[in-house]
């Protein structure tokens, strides 16, 4: 397995956010992590990225433990995150945001070529490249956040609620882009409240409830599971 999370426990003070999470992401997969608000989805991603120190448990990447690594080292290993709420640098230009995404890279010429690739994939960003990112619409910001993460040439892309706050049309567009990115060879771990969309593109999925994995399996099976349908798909 490319990325493995074993018995991960995380607490915020007295609040236990994760109570022993296990999950695996294989090379080339799209794996979805679904669950209600406050189930611990974002905490899981932030812990993988090194922003949160777990109480116990391990995270391994290509067999190597990364549990105690600082975030910037985890990025240089090839794990990059598109954070919840996009979090583009609003007071920097679109181009500068993309440059920040390539911060760990030293191959300047290739970085330039990759910026062009991002602009090809997202032509609206090309038109706005010298504009401050704070002036972009929500959908454009989501594209920028994704383009920025791609600039690090990640092996694994962690995506936190890419559909949040976007119009349904845009959600469709964003998910088809996620699929494209995956088909181009990037492994994806996707966190979503929009379980329906997530299960439609994922290979496998985990259902998280109050800090524990309660269900897991192929996305198609979960989408047909009556409990999941009742709790997360509104059917």
Partner 1 sequence: MLSQQLLNGITLGATYALIALGYTMVYGIIQLINFAHGEIYMVGAFVGVLMVSVFQQGLLVSLVAAMLACMIMGVTIERIAYRPLRRSTRLAPLISAIGVSIFLQTLMTKIKGPQPVAFPPVINDALYKLGPVEISKVQIIILIVASLLMAGLHFIVKYVKIGKAMRAASEDYDTAALMGINVNRVISFTFAIGSALAAAGGVLVGIYFNSVSPFMGVLAGLKAFCAAVLGGIGSIPGAMLGGLFLGVAETLGVAGGFDLYKDAIAFTLLIIVLLFRPTGLLGRPIQRKV
Kindly state whether residue 152 participates in binding partner 1, applying the rule CB under 8 A: yes
Our finding on whether 75 is near partner 1 (CB under 8 A) is yes
| Part in contact with partner 1 (CB under 8 A); list of ranges 90-98, 161-169, 177-185, 223-231 | 90-98
Nearer to partner 1, 43 or 49 (CB): 49
Q: According to CB under 8 A, which one of 83, 139, 147, 162 is a site residue for partner 1? A: 83
Q: Which stretch binds partner 1 (CB under 8 A): 55-63, 70-78, 208-216, 226-234?
A: 70-78
In the complex, what is the shortest distance from the CB of residue 218 to partner 1, in angstroms, rounded to a whole number?
30
Q: Which of 68, 72, 112, 230 binds partner 1 (CB under 8 A)?
A: 72
**Stretch of 28-36, 72-80, 184-192, 217-225 contacting partner 1, by CB under 8 A:** 72-80
DSSP string over the chain: --EEEEEEEEEETTEEEEEEEEEEE-TT-EEEEEE-TTSSHHHHHHHHTTSS--SEEEEEETTEE-TT--HHHHHHHTEEEE-TT----TTSBHHHHHHHHTTT---HHHHHHHHHHHHHH-HHHHHTTTSBGGGS-HHHHHHHHHHHHHTT--SEEEEE-TTTT--HHHHHHHHHHHHHHHHTT-EEEEEES-HHHHHHH-SEEEEEETTEEEEEEEHHHHHH-HHHHHHHS--
Answer for which of 101, 139, 147, 211 binds partner 1 (CB under 8 A) is 101
Enumerate binding residues for partner 1 (CB under 8 A).
49-51, 70-72, 75-76, 80-81, 83, 85, 87, 89-92, 96, 99-101, 103-104, 148, 152
């Amino acid at each position: 397995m490319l990325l493995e999370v074993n018995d991960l426990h995380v607490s915020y003070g007295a609040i236990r956010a994760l109570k022993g999470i296990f999950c695996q992401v294989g090379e080339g997969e799209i794996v979805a992590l679904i669950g209600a608000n406050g189930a611990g989805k974002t905490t899981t991603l932030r812990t993988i990225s090194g922003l949160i120190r777990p109480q116990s448990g391990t995270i391994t990447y290509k067999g190597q433990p990364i549990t105690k690594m600082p975030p910037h080292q985890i990025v240089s290993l090839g794990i990059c995150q598109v954070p919840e709420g996009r979090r583009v640098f609003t007071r920097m230009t679109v181009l500068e945001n993309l440059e920040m995404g390539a911060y760990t890279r030293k191959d300047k010429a290739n970085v330039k070529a990759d910026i062009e690739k991002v602009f090809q994939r997202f032509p609206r960003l090309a038109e706005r490249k010298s504009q401050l990112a704070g002036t972009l619409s929500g959908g454009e910001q989501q594209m920028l956040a994704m383009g920025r993460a791609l600039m690090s040439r990640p092996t694994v892309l962690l995506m936190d609620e890419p559909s949040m706050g976007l119009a349904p049309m845009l959600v469709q567009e964003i998910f088809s882009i996620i699929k494209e990115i995956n088909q181009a060879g990037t492994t994806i771990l996707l966190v979503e409240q929009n379980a329906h969309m997530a299960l439609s593109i994922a290979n496998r999925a985990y259902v998280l409830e109050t800090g524990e994995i309660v269900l897991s399996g192929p996305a198609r099976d979960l989408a047909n599971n009556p409990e999941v349908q009742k709790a997360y798909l509104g059917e």
